[in-house]
Amino acid sequence: MERSRSLTRLAAVVAELLLACGCGRRAREVVVYTSVDQVFSEPVFRAFERESGIPVRAVFDTEETKSTGALNRLIAESANPQADVFWSGDPVRPFLLIKRGLVEPYLSRQAQDLPPGLRGADGSWTGVAARARVLLVNRKLVPAQETPRSIRDLADPRWKGKAAIANPLFGTTTMHVAALFAKWGDEPARAFLDALKANGVRIASSNGEVKRLVVAGEVAFGLTDTDDANEARKEGADVEVVHPDADELGALVMPTAVVLMAKGPHPDAGRKLVDYLLSAEAERQMAAAAAHMPLRPGVPTPQGVLRVSDIRAMDVDYARVAEEMERIQPWLRQWAGL
Amino acid sequence: MGRPLRAALRRHEQELVLALAAAALCTVGVAPFASLLVREGTAWLNASTPLVSSGALSLLLRSLVLSALVTLLALALGMPLGVLVGRTDVRGLWPASLLHAFPAFLPPFLLALGWFHLFGVSGLLGSEATSRALFSDVGVVFVLALAFTPIVTCLVALGIQGVDPGLEEAARVVAKPSRVVTRILIPAAAPAWILAAIVIFTLSFSELGVPMFLRVDTFPAAVFSRLGGVDYAPGEALALVLPLVPFALLLLAAERRFVGTRSYAVFGLRSRRQDRLGLGRWRPAASAALWLAALLSVAPIAALAWRALSGGGLAEAGRWMGRAPWNSLSSSAVAATAIVGIGLVVGHATARRLRGAAALDSAAVLAFVAPAAVLGIGLISLWNRPALQWVYGSTGILVVGYVARYAVIGVRTIGSLIAQTPLHVEEAAAAAGAGFWRRLTRILLPLHARGVGFAWLLALVFCLRDLELAVLYYPPGGEPLTVRLFTLEANGPESVVAALAVVQVTMTAAVLGAGGFLLRRRAT
């Protein structure tokens, strides 16, 4: 008898836990997938919740699969879309969704004062708060006069075994490599990557790891993103941030990109979140917390954070970069040994 | 219900219950792979070229070598420690054993993070040389071997406690204690340490978090690159899994050959107490060795705690934690209950060698051995449907994944327990009119309540420490704590990440403490 009471109690607890697990879709909420670092994006979602009263349920990427983990999940779930919004850490991944017909074009009124060149004309994607690819240099290891100024310095024998990049199969490094293929063509770009390998460039698991390697002095300099470089500065590390190739190629600029997903479960709430992510307020938050460069002229930037107009930006067509990115993957995997 | 139908149901009760459990096991553990196969059509068949051409084969060999080294090192450390813990009068046995065993219940990625705070360049004991060693093959072997050594220690300790005391007493009449240990106890406990070797080899082979964190390429990373890279290619990922199938079957055959149902001794359920071997003048040295192992085990946890405290992360942890601990606990508790339910029925079938039981057991083992990334994508392919939204859109999908991957724990643990019960106990109950379900729940379950409780606890802790599977498909806003740790690790303040790791450690310790307390109460 006592045993059956115990079993009943156990069943009750299990049922309670199952109920607590949640029951799938709720009417008033919005689901967002993002490859913007959780530490920066989550406070923006919380601010949206406070302003709109709409709860946000988010899926974040890991540093190692940055930009592609969430993207691939969107593709894998395309038969029954779960997400209303994709907030991409770069402007290239959305093209992979657009190509598959997974995007609902939406011209947000908040995008009116954003530069027209950094968004899809039909509203399929809209660029906002940007990052750039930079060289992060350890000042203790590199004298000022020897500071590397170009990404080509990664392949310079002077720095053999003393430089780092993130794994080019993932994250913004993939986009950067694809941009080089688009700008230089196949042969020069492949030769450059082979030269990196021959020069013993360390392949870190992520851009954050590149920052760690530079700050710790394990390498003299590395190629990373402005937000990671800014973290190094906030930690008080003795580093210099170099926007590379100011006299030639220019630095790769990567606005974050906001996309409304087609057939999302909460389209109205999704549009509201898109509006918010494209707002001046969200740009201000991203500039203050994550050193992103605002695309609107009026948004203030913290000390040390430049505007896109202050640097020489690489002239690239993001749609073309997206095509290159897909095309070069087999070769890149071979290069990476995976 | 008509009488004939009721009679038929009663006659076939065992087959029906087993069919239900088998259906549950196959739905969660086999169907995801089948769904992926169907969805990918023949793409996976045509995708065999990357296996040969892209160096994946050399990564496979490299992973096999690394896993073998981890296993050998863990055995070398764990076997003597197991003997010390299991049969000697070493000082401070219980506290040292608990400290030593605890890290086995934590995600290895978390331990790697702790070692980074110790031996990274800016770590407490770090230098360029230690950092270089940590971020290398050597570092991966070191971190994983230390993480898994407690598995050997515990299984060997329990194994030699289960050795027939008569054998040992006879040997002690004519031989020195050291000879008794090497010639009697360790060979007699072979099923335990062979099982430990197989488990460790499997765990280290499928480990993704530690090699990725320490920047060492392994085979699971090659599989992951087909799913986490730009050219999303689940068919290729599936093709890469193919070589693992014969390999897993080989492990299974080895396990059947060397362990089989003899593993019952490892559950320490012998009632007769044995005198511990006196170490004599070796006692201080042996005690020091055990305590050194305990300190090595907790060193990375201490480093995480230090980082959390020194950077003020603990004060911030609440803000960043969200509902993640609750998500972890609730989904793991439900999954552990389901695992025990399936384990009770399928474990019984394997113990009694019923038809089809071996196939179900193999399916559970394969789901455990297969790379988590492929299982995860299979789960998305199978469960992401409008009709199943109530599961896929909630933490229910975490439960499904945990049951798929860790069902083997319930099947094996409970199967070994039931194998100890003489068949005539069940036969007598059946002769008295008890049906299968009644025999299972009124005789076997009460008889092995403590062991089943242990299986539930073990399954719960394995679910709590899962990262590789959940990270692929956790529901929006429903991430477990391990995933939150992993996603915040990118640019999150180090002290906050360390503080969340401390929360994970505390949660696991609390669960184990409470479970251990309840199981001990049941035993007294």
| Contacting residues of A for B221, CB less than 8 Å apart | 338
Contacts of B511 (CB under 8 A, 6+ apart): B329, B457, B460, B461, B464
Does B304 reach chain A within 8 Å, measured CB to CB?
no
Torsion, Cα A228 A234 A236 A237, to 10 degrees, reads 10
Does B64 reach chain A within 8 Å, measured CB to CB?
no
- Contact between A208 and A228 under an 8 Å Cβ cutoff? The reply is yes
Q: Is pLDDT above 50 for A22?
A: no
The confidence score (pLDDT) of residue B187 equals: 82
Question: How far off is chain A from B473, nearest CA to CA, in Å?
Answer: 8
Q: Could you tell me which of A5, A15, A148, A333 has the C-alpha nearest to residue B222?
A: A333
Structure tokens at B450: 């403590």
**Confidence class of residue A298 from pLDDT cuts 50, 70 and 90?**
confident
Does A6 reach chain B within 8 Å, measured CB to CB?
no
The confidence score (pLDDT) of residue B263 equals: 47
**Same-domain status, B226 and B321:** no
Q: Is B491–A37 a contact, with Cβ atoms under 8 angstroms apart?
A: yes
Q: Is pLDDT above 70 for B94?
A: yes
Q: Is A68–B229 a contact, with Cβ atoms under 8 angstroms apart?
A: yes
- Contact between B512 and B332 under an 8 Å Cβ cutoff? The reply is no
Does A57 reach chain B within 8 Å, measured CB to CB?
yes
**Same-domain status, B341 and B441:** yes
Domain CATH number, residue B213: 1.10.3720.10
Sign of CA dihedral B122, B123, B124, B130: negative
The amino acid at residue A76 is: A
The confidence score (pLDDT) of residue B267 equals: 43
Contacts of B129 (CB under 8 A, 6+ apart): none
Q: What is the ipTM of this complex?
A: 0.79
- Contact between B423 and B352 under an 8 Å Cβ cutoff? The reply is yes
Structure tokens at B310: 């020194």
pLDDT per position as a tens digit, B436-487: 888 888 888 888 888 899 889 999 999 999 988 888 889 999 999 999 988 8
Q: Is A21–B330 a contact, with Cβ atoms under 8 angstroms apart?
A: yes
Query: Residue B217's domain spans which residues?
Result: 65-267+283-297
The amino acid at residue B425 is: V
A positions 159-198 inside 8 Å of B (CB): 169-170, 174
* Apex B70 CA angle, B69 and B74, nearest 5: 115
Which residue is associated with the tokens 């406990």? B189
For residue A56, the cross-strand partners are A30
| Contacting residues of A for B55, CB less than 8 Å apart | 334, 337-338
Task: For residue B60, tell me if it sits in a domain.
Answer: no
When scoring B231, B329, B448, B481 by the number of chain A Cβ atoms within 10 A, the one with the most, hence best to mutate, is: B231
Query: Which of A68, A79, A334 has its CB closest to that of B230?
Result: A68
Distance CA B493, CA B497 (A): 6
Distance CA B9, CA B16 (A): 8
Query: Which of A63, A77, A330 has its CB closest to that of B384?
Result: A77
Does A1 reach chain B within 8 Å, measured CB to CB?
no
How many helices (H) and strands (E) chain A has is answered by 12, 9
- Contact between A132 and A226 under an 8 Å Cβ cutoff? The reply is yes
For residue B466, the cross-strand partners are none
A positions 208-237 inside 8 Å of B (CB): 208-209, 212, 215-218, 227-228, 231
Query: Which of A174, A203, A218 has its CB closest to that of B131?
Result: A218
| Contacting residues of A for B384, CB less than 8 Å apart | 76-77, 79-80, 82
Phi and psi, residue B215, nearest 5°: 60, 40
**Same-domain status, B234 and B318:** no
Distance CA B332, CA A248 (A): 55
Q: Is B476–A59 a contact, with Cβ atoms under 8 angstroms apart?
A: yes
- Contact between A124 and A98 under an 8 Å Cβ cutoff? The reply is yes
Q: Is pLDDT above 60 for A15?
A: no
Helix axes B234-241, B219-228, angle to 10 degrees: 160
**Same-domain status, B362 and B290:** no
Question: How far off is chain B from A228, nearest CA to CA, in Å?
Answer: 7
The CATH fold assigned to A27-129+255-305 is D-Maltodextrin-Binding Protein; domain 2 (3.40.190)
Question: What DSSP state is assigned to residue B61?
Answer: H
Q: Could you tell me which of A323, A286, A327 has the C-alpha nearest to residue A127?
A: A286
Least confident of A56-70, A222-236, B46-60, B427-441: B46-60
Give CA B194 to chain center in angstroms.
Answer: 15
**Looking at the domain that runs over A131-252+328-336, which CATH code has it been given?**
3.40.190.10
Does B54 reach chain A within 8 Å, measured CB to CB?
yes
Helix/strand/coil for A130? strand
| Contacting residues of B for A204, CB less than 8 Å apart | 215
pLDDT per position as a tens digit, B269-316: 444 556 777 777 888 999 999 999 999 999 999 999 999 998 888 888
The confidence score (pLDDT) of residue B80 equals: 92
B positions 136-175 inside 8 Å of A (CB): none
Does A21 reach chain B within 8 Å, measured CB to CB?
yes
Question: How far off is chain B from A88, nearest CA to CA, in Å?
Answer: 13
Q: Could you tell me which of B167, B156, B161 has the C-alpha nearest to residue B194?
A: B156
| Contacting residues of B for A203, CB less than 8 Å apart | 215
Q: Could you tell me which of A172, A176, A153, A149 has the C-alpha nearest to residue A246?
A: A149
Average predicted confidence (pLDDT) for chain A: 88
Distance CA B222, CA B86 (A): 40
Distance CA B438, CA B417 (A): 18
Least confident of A159-168, A169-178, B32-41, B259-268: B259-268
Distance CA A29, CA B256 (A): 51
**Same-domain status, B326 and B291:** no
Task: For residue B273, tell me if it sits in a domain.
Answer: no
DSSP character string of A28-95: S-EEEEE-S-HHHHHHHHHHHHHHH---EEEEE--STTTTTHHHHHHHHTTTS---SEEEESSSSHHH
CA-based nearest residue in chain B for residue A326 = B231
pLDDT per position as a tens digit, B235-269: 777 777 777 777 777 877 877 777 665 544 444 44
CA-based nearest residue in chain A for residue B438 = A4
pLDDT above 90 covers what percent of chain B? Answer: 34
Task: For residue B56, tell me if it sits in a domain.
Answer: no
B positions 336-365 inside 8 Å of A (CB): 337
A positions 64-123 inside 8 Å of B (CB): 64-66, 68-69, 71-73, 75-77, 79-80, 82-83, 96
Q: Is B131–A203 a contact, with Cβ atoms under 8 angstroms apart?
A: no
Average predicted confidence (pLDDT) for chain B: 84
Question: What DSSP state is assigned to residue B159?
Answer: H
Q: Is A22–B395 a contact, with Cβ atoms under 8 angstroms apart?
A: yes
Question: What DSSP state is assigned to residue B231?
Answer: S
HSE at residue B229, side-chain half, CA atoms within 13 A, is 27
Question: What DSSP state is assigned to residue B263?
Answer: G
pLDDT per position as a tens digit, B41-86: 666 566 555 555 556 778 888 889 999 999 999 999 999 999 898 8
Q: Is pLDDT above 70 for A128?
A: yes
Does A329 reach chain B within 8 Å, measured CB to CB?
yes
Distance CA B111, CA B91 (A): 27
E strand or H helix at A132:
strand A126-138
Distance CA A172, CA A61 (A): 13
* Apex B494 CA angle, B491 and B497, nearest 5: 90
Domain count of chain B? 2
Structure tokens at A97: 């969704």
Torsion, Cα A70 A196 A291 A74, to 10 degrees, reads -10
Which residue is associated with the tokens 């409970």? B414
**Confidence class of residue B319 from pLDDT cuts 50, 70 and 90?**
confident
Query: Which of A63, A77, A326 has its CB closest to that of B490?
Result: A63
Distance CA A334, CA A337 (A): 5
Task: For residue B95, tell me if it sits in a domain.
Answer: yes
Query: Which of B225, B326, B384 has its CB closest to that of A80?
Result: B384
Question: What DSSP state is assigned to residue A186?
Answer: H
Structure tokens at A309: 């107009």
Torsion, Cα A243 A244 A245 A250, to 10 degrees, reads -60
Does B475 reach chain A within 8 Å, measured CB to CB?
yes
Contacts of B120 (CB under 8 A, 6+ apart): A212, A216, B126, B130, B131, B134
Distance CA B363, CA B80 (A): 34
Task: Enumerate the domain spans of chain A.
Answer: 27-129+255-305, 131-252+328-336
Task: For residue B2, tell me if it sits in a domain.
Answer: no
The confidence score (pLDDT) of residue A268 equals: 96
Question: How far off is chain B from A194, nearest CA to CA, in Å?
Answer: 16
Question: How far off is chain A from B471, nearest CA to CA, in Å?
Answer: 8
Distance CA B149, CA B167 (A): 27
B positions 313-332 inside 8 Å of A (CB): 326, 330-331
**Same-domain status, B165 and B30:** no
Question: pTM score > 0.90 for this model?
Answer: no
